[in-house]
Amino acid sequence: MKSDRLLSILLLLQTRGRVPAHELAARLDVSVRTIYRDIEALSASGVPVYAERGRHGGIALLAGFRTDVTGLTADESRALFVLAAQGAHAALGLDQALGSALRKVMAALPEPHRPGAELASRRILVDASRWMKGPLPVDLEVLQDAVFADRRLRLRYRHSGAAQARTYTVDPYGLVCKAGIWYLVADRRGTPRLFRADRIRSAAVTDAPVRRRPDVELSDVWAVLKHAVENRPGGLKVTVRVRRARYDLFLRVIGKSVTRLPEDHADHADESEWLTVRLAFEAVGEARTLLPFADEVEVLSPPEVRAELARAAAAVTRLYAGKEPAPR
Are 9 and 28 in contact by the 8 Å Cβ rule? The answer is: yes
List pLDDT tens digits, range 183-192.
999 999 999 9
DSSP, collapsed to helix, strand or coil, labels residue 150 as: coil
User: How far, in Å, CA of 53 to CA of 284, rounded?
Assistant: 59
One-letter identity of residue 280: A
Q: What single string gives the DSSP state of each residue in 275-305?
A: EEEEEEESSGGGGGGGGGGGGGEEEEE-HHH
User: How far, in Å, CA of 284 to CA of 310, rounded?
Assistant: 12
DSSP, collapsed to helix, strand or coil, labels residue 282 as: coil
Are 293 and 250 in contact by the 8 Å Cβ rule? The answer is: yes
pLDDT tens, N- to C-terminus, the chain (328 residues): 577 788 788 878 877 788 999 889 988 889 999 999 999 988 888 888 988 877 777 899 888 776 655 566 677 777 776 655 556 677 777 767 777 777 767 766 767 777 887 788 778 777 777 776 777 788 888 999 999 999 999 999 998 767 889 999 999 999 998 877 899 999 999 999 999 998 999 999 999 999 999 989 999 999 999 988 877 766 789 999 999 999 999 998 888 888 888 865 444 445 678 999 999 888 888 899 999 999 999 999 999 999 999 999 999 888 888 666 666 5
User: How far, in Å, CA of 249 to CA of 271, rounded?
Assistant: 20
| C-alpha closest to that of 153 among 216, 192, 210 | 210
First to last CA, the chain: 71
Q: Prior bond to 209 cis, omega within 30?
A: no
